[in-house]
Amino acid sequence: MPRFRYEDDDDAVVDPPLIRRRRRPARRRSPPPEPDVFVDEREAGGVSLSTYAESTHGPRPVPDWVVASGNAVDTDRGPIKTGKEADVHLVERHDPASGQMSLLAAKRYRDAEHRLFHRDAGYLEGRRVRKSRETRAMANRTGLGRPLIAERWAATEFATLGRLWSSGIAVPYPVQLDGTELLLEFIGTPDGTAAPRLAEIAAGRDELEALWVQCVEILQALGAAGYTHGDLSAFNVLVTDGRLVLIDLPQVVDIVVNPQGVEFLARDCRNICTWFARHGVSEVEADELLALILAARPGRA
């Protein structure tokens, strides 16, 4: 142990003083992070001015029921559907001056932090943006790319719905696009009751067979336009007054451009055919449906 010497006494050597070590206070563990829960700031019952004038509009001719006035007011009447990628709310748009009113389905995509498109890689094949830097960012899921993917999902669904609606295919009319929010034609009753999904209806065999014929016609028309739904099931088809309407089309696949397009189409055919066959509809063959659609697709051999 080292010895200490006082400066005024060269011969005085003493032991070092006792040094007491201070005990470090125990580290407080930070609380675990809160679970990643999506909270939409627009609560049910919220009222705001219409954003129609500042948004991208749907195709022409614009239906008469669309409220286009800049003085219109939007009232959120609550959620219709919640999902991993987006929530759908019922919105009432009302023009106080004219008294015109319409019900809309507001589809709000999750932001980059909360979006859960965990299976989007295959769907994005063949999709390109003008800037190669943005294309690479989307492919690599970078900080720049993730928000772009969210916007591209919304923009792709909006544009696709516009093309399909203009072609006469049974889809909701896309009223407007504002960032990652789509306002769509509400499929349901005037009191705000949404039309049931195909998987939810209780129908007899004759009605189901009539719906099957409609389904084949819709999928053929969709294929002739060059697309397949990409995630088709009895939960992505609405039934209103005996009529089928396709919904949830953000993952729509171009069967010509996408290298996996035919595989997605084959899966869509299997899914919907399996459901109809399980419910007793005769003459439901996935291979035959696939062949019918492929025969009508653009660029066929």
CA separation for the pair 223, 296 (Å, rounded): 6
One domain for residues 149 and 218: no
Q: Does 24 reside within a domain?
A: no
CA separation for the pair 249, 253 (Å, rounded): 9
Q: Does 285 reside within a domain?
A: yes
Q: What is the mean pLDDT of residues 144-161?
A: 78
pLDDT tens for residues 52-95?
Answer: 999 999 999 999 999 999 899 999 999 999 877 889 999 999 99
One domain for residues 176 and 246: no
pTM for the full model? 0.76
**How many domains does the structure of the chain reveal?**
2
End position of a domain, from candidates 161, 185, 209 = 185
CA separation for the pair 46, 192 (Å, rounded): 16
Confidence of residue 112 (pLDDT cuts 50, 70, 90): low
Q: Does 107 reside within a domain?
A: yes
One domain for residues 60 and 145: yes
**Selection from 173, 299, 157 nearest residue 225 by Cα:** 299
End position of a domain, from candidates 128, 154, 185 = 185
CA separation for the pair 122, 14 (Å, rounded): 80
Q: Does 30 reside within a domain?
A: no
Q: Does 191 reside within a domain?
A: no
Q: Does 11 reside within a domain?
A: no
Q: Return the CATH number at 212.
A: 1.10.510.10
Residue 156: phi and psi, rounded to 5, are: -65, -45
Secondary structure letter of residue 5 according to DSSP: E
Residue type, 151: E
**Selection from 91, 65, 71, 90 nearest residue 80 by Cα:** 90
| Residue 271 belongs to domain spanning | 198-296
Q: Which two tokens stand for residue 162?
A: 């516009």
One domain for residues 181 and 214: no
One domain for residues 207 and 132: no
Q: Does 17 reside within a domain?
A: no
Do residues 55 and 177 lie in contact, with contact meaning Cβ atoms separated by under 8 Å? yes
Residue 8: predicted pLDDT: 46
CA distances from 235 to 78, 247, 298 (A): 21, 9, 28
Confidence of residue 5 (pLDDT cuts 50, 70, 90): very low
Do residues 226 and 298 lie in contact, with contact meaning Cβ atoms separated by under 8 Å? yes
One domain for residues 67 and 113: yes
One domain for residues 89 and 157: yes
One domain for residues 181 and 239: no
As a residue count, the chain comes to: 301
Residue 62: predicted pLDDT: 96
CA distances from 168 to 67, 90, 113, 230 (A): 22, 25, 36, 20
One domain for residues 57 and 176: yes
End position of a domain, from candidates 144, 164, 185 = 185
Secondary structure letter of residue 297 according to DSSP: S
Q: Return the CATH number at 91.
A: 3.30.200.20
One domain for residues 258 and 291: yes
